[in-house]
Structure 1
């Protein structure tokens, strides 16, 4: 196996024996085979577009299958095999439709003529033969950009899938997925072409995040500042981790009146700010962090656990029986629930002891999405003009288990009292419960939401820039980001597409970025690694502010 798509990849180069995340070589091979198959589907789809054929089934499948290869989503070989065989049926039907319309399908392109083997062992062998997806015959800088773009595309697929579930789609997004996957085998594309495709990935992700924002706020209302308990109270309990708000809504409705409290974990924390979710009285509080003590937290949780997307390492056997998964998520030893029927989760929660005591763990406040922040924009602008607020920091992104992320805690704790910290995604769990106070009633720590709510942060930044009559890069605003997996890559590419400069990124730079490509990012966008000292970086930023 070879996998270098996440920040924690072994030795900073790539996992070759087993994934640091827990992914087995067998699962890795099957995921490689899915990408190979998607190249074939994409090539046929591109021929179809030229012939006037647009197959929505193939488009939706492409997003779903890409999502299944994101870090910590699907480690179940049996389930991955099902994805491969489903893709073969879709590819054959698509080919028939394209050829019937007069389209010409090129069997020489990767994945087009691929036929999956019947047994799981043979599929794994096919995946091992196919190997890592970049074009091995291209130079390393082109391969680096191919990986950057495709990893960003995986993030797009995750967000597009969430939006699709709520009925929000844009065909141009699906077409771009096919365009990019087909481009990997197009050797007429040079380095500059791949730079353009990589930045276009960021442009498309902005569109997808806007779609998802409209989907979530349309279904559940605009988030409002909401205080969330961090402790627990006596009673049966279900813990929900991940990102899928529809799963959470359905669960809340199905548990109403049953005496079961629903708690959030990880990226689900911001869900407490949505009016249509917070109205349920048994939607109680937040339990645990995202990565630091995750396995201990899950081991100790006395109820059922529902995972809606990738927000956990491969579960331990000790608590795997208490874990239920939905959507694209699948882990060996866990139970997958489908069609929005959470009966198995509820029955498991009722059998488990739940909490027998009450613990006051303090509180945090969520719900500072774009509408909430922009409603106080005049007050914020006045605070900046008066000198009460000197600088804004956006400190957020992914969390992870590897050492080095204490930097972000130190950065936030060291931020001067005349600065404001916006945060989002699970990276905030390094400091989300810090009491930073306020500036003239404006909270110094504002939780903007999930990772996909980077769209909210962008809306806020653009609105402030407009209010001050300047560009985003001229604002007293610095971005200090942590990354772990492919959704973070998509968001970073969006920021680069928007021309936002001087982003600090850590804990380490992506293993798939070559020195030459990094040099382009430094010269064009001023992107740089975080420093060894958070306090030194703070002094450098504020000294130049």
Structure 2
């Protein structure tokens, strides 16, 4: 089998993609991504040991974060760029090895078998001679043919035991989601080396054949702890830099000037684009996960920040066409572009697509140069209007806590009977219309707490309000699911409850890719139980691993709106 991937919700047949990814990635891209993850594990063997003697290599930290990020679903489809990243990883691994040798550690020598035996045990190596490191730390090639051969041997299915494979992949997908959020925080100058250390140690653990299912489960749950830390760090980075999100009405119509459409999650890229387009006669619109940028005070000063265009990521093949102007993809999710707008599309950082122009990082700490996008935009027609009106958002934790008295009074009076956390991802499957129907069917005394692009299934419905409190409270991007946890913990404190699960909050979460995985693990770490995932449970959960999650955390799937509502409301 030349490729196998089941990391996203749309895995073919609910089992896995083998010929080509449903996302659009080719076999070559899938295999190169597998090899890249393998190389990051090898680098992590050295960096984990280096940390024990006080050596922290920030270039390695950044490389591992960006490599994990670039293999997230719908982020990078550019095999040439991914191959270059593999080559860079092999070079960095060698530099890391040399750094250890300079520190007096003779890597690969029996003279140092004291530390080496510990490392080998940690990495799960089964060799006759202890001086041999795991192949992830020693394998080398310098051509595409050898890369392809190796990739076929180190992919997901190279782990034969189904349950161990499931736990390893669950951990890796959590790390990928964590890396995405840590990357955004890093862009704003915020970092946490403890999170880097855990990532690298966790990557090494996936090479360890001596770890049991219980051992791996413990590391998976520990990943949730670091997921909370990273989301809190990103929240701090965003709010310290751009202010706390405020209740905001966002225009969803268009103006009569040419525009640039920016999608993804990276607020730093948006800031730089807004600065460079100021006074240029070009408007800037957000798409999909960039919508919540409108809630931040710092961006409201830009009069050419026009509004939000369109809906969730999967509709971009139609909406990018009608937008007319250039599109900047700062992160996933990319749908393979049509030729009709491919020459207007740009990627940056960890994203990429073959034949699509890529905006590199600025040199010597300078901002990225978006002049090419701006000049192209000036020559384009204004966007075609696809809808009119406004949508309201900005209900992150600081804003909701400012309304805490009003919310608590509504709960105490019975005006609000239950909150439904409907955060997560949107996707192409028709079965996801379930979430629209679910929102419509909720009792009028129920409030939806949301974050992520899952909101596009219901954020334009007229669901009204409860005493002035909107029935859809949008906290922001998927990483802002942290806000929902902060709100829940605050309500727990206000009502004097011992357990967060005693709150009148139900969790009906839609998932799609790996950032949803780290959000799930973070919620489990915070003690939240009885979370329901849909539209299907992850293909990478083996029956036994799924059973553990069900028995210990009450994880469940979805059925139909009527029966699920009865279940959530405690009705028979």
Q: Could you tell me which residue of structure 1 aligns to residue 511 of structure 2?
A: 483
CA distance in structure 2 between the partners assigned to 1:504 and 1:176 by the alignment: 28
Aligned partners of 2:224 and 2:524 also within 8 Å: yes
Spell out, residue by residue over 1:142-161, the C-alpha distance to the aligned partner (whole angstroms, 9 max, x if none).
21111101110000111111
How do 1:129-148 and structure 2 match up within 5 A? 129-132=153-156, 136-137=159-160, 139-148=161-170
Relative to 1, partners in 2 of residues 1:363 and 1:390: Cα closer, same or farther, differing over 3 Å? same
Shift of 1:179: 0.5
How do 1:197-346 and structure 2 match up within 5 A? 197-338=219-360, 339=362, 340-346=368-374
What secondary structure, in the 3-state scheme, does the structure 1 residue paired with 2:337 have? coil
What secondary structure, in the 3-state scheme, does the structure 1 residue paired with 2:431 have? coil
Q: Could you tell me which residue of structure 1 aligns to residue 123 of structure 2?
A: none
Shift of 1:544: 5.1
Shift of 1:279: 1.5
CA distance in structure 1 between the partners assigned to 2:272 and 2:212 by the alignment: 48
| Aligned residue among 2, 20, 24 for 1:18 | 20
Q: Could you tell me which residue of structure 2 aligns to residue 52 of structure 1?
A: 54
Spell out, residue by residue over 1:202-227, the C-alpha distance to the aligned partner (whole angstroms, 9 max, x if none).
11111000110000111110000110
Q: Could you tell me which residue of structure 2 aligns to residue 403 of structure 1?
A: 430
CA distance in structure 2 between the partners assigned to 1:353 and 1:386 by the alignment: 53
What secondary structure, in the 3-state scheme, does the structure 2 residue paired with 1:405 have? helix
Shift of 1:124: 2.8
| Aligned residue among 420, 439, 448 for 1:421 | 448
Q: TM-score, normalised by structure 1?
A: 0.96
Q: Could you tell me which residue of structure 2 aligns to residue 510 of structure 1?
A: 538
1:124 is aligned to 2:151: no
Shift of 1:358: 6.4
Shift of 1:121: 4.2
Q: Could you tell me which residue of structure 1 aligns to residue 114 of structure 2?
A: none
Spell out, residue by residue over 1:18-60, the C-alpha distance to the aligned partner (whole angstroms, 9 max, x if none).
0000000000111011011111101111221223322111111
Shift of 1:86: 1.2
How many residue pairs match? The answer is 540
Q: Could you tell me which residue of structure 1 aligns to residue 171 of structure 2?
A: 149
Shift of 1:359: 7.0
Q: Could you tell me which residue of structure 1 aligns to residue 406 of structure 2?
A: 379
| Aligned residue among 433, 452, 476 for 2:460 | 433
CA distance in structure 2 between the partners assigned to 1:250 and 1:521 by the alignment: 43
Spell out, residue by residue over 1:198-253, the C-alpha distance to the aligned partner (whole angstroms, 9 max, x if none).
00111111100011000011111000011011111111011111000010011011
1:83 is aligned to 2:85: yes
Q: TM-score, normalised by structure 2?
A: 0.92
What secondary structure, in the 3-state scheme, does the structure 2 residue paired with 1:513 have? coil
CA distance in structure 2 between the partners assigned to 1:456 and 1:233 by the alignment: 32
1:112 is aligned to 2:134: no
Aligned partners of 1:290 and 1:311 also within 8 Å: no
Aligned partners of 2:317 and 2:337 also within 8 Å: yes
CA distance in structure 2 between the partners assigned to 1:187 and 1:516 by the alignment: 18
CA distance in structure 2 between the partners assigned to 1:205 and 1:544 by the alignment: 34
CA distance in structure 2 between the partners assigned to 1:171 and 1:52 by the alignment: 12
Shift of 1:115: 1.6
Aligned partners of 1:369 and 1:456 also within 8 Å: yes
Shift of 1:129: 3.6
**Can you give the 5+ residue segments of structure 1 that lack an aligned partner in the other structure?**
none
Shift of 1:306: 0.6
CA distance in structure 2 between the partners assigned to 1:197 and 1:105 by the alignment: 27
Q: Structure 1 runs of 4+ off > 4 angstroms?
A: 357-360
Shift of 1:402: 2.1
Relative to 1, partners in 2 of residues 1:73 and 1:537: Cα closer, same or farther, differing over 3 Å? same
CA distance in structure 2 between the partners assigned to 1:33 and 1:311 by the alignment: 22
Aligned partners of 1:501 and 1:525 also within 8 Å: yes
CA distance in structure 1 between the partners assigned to 2:295 and 2:194 by the alignment: 31
RMSD of aligned residue pairs (Cα, Å): 1.5
Relative to 1, partners in 2 of residues 1:312 and 1:535: Cα closer, same or farther, differing over 3 Å? farther
CA distance in structure 1 between the partners assigned to 2:528 and 2:549 by the alignment: 11
| Aligned residue among 515, 519, 529 for 2:547 | 519
Shift of 1:455: 0.8
Aligned partners of 1:135 and 1:185 also within 8 Å: no
What secondary structure, in the 3-state scheme, does the structure 2 residue paired with 1:311 have? coil
Aligned partners of 2:327 and 2:344 also within 8 Å: yes
Aligned partners of 1:64 and 1:157 also within 8 Å: yes
Shift of 1:292: 4.9
Aligned partners of 1:233 and 1:359 also within 8 Å: no
CA distance in structure 1 between the partners assigned to 2:313 and 2:189 by the alignment: 31
Shift of 1:351: 1.4
What secondary structure, in the 3-state scheme, does the structure 2 residue paired with 1:378 have? helix
Q: Could you tell me which residue of structure 1 aligns to residue 119 of structure 2?
A: none
What secondary structure, in the 3-state scheme, does the structure 2 residue paired with 1:84 have? helix
**Can you give the 5+ residue segments of structure 2 that lack an aligned partner in the other structure?**
109-131, 363-367
Relative to 1, partners in 2 of residues 1:544 and 1:98: Cα closer, same or farther, differing over 3 Å? farther
CA distance in structure 1 between the partners assigned to 2:547 and 2:150 by the alignment: 37
CA distance in structure 1 between the partners assigned to 2:192 and 2:79 by the alignment: 31
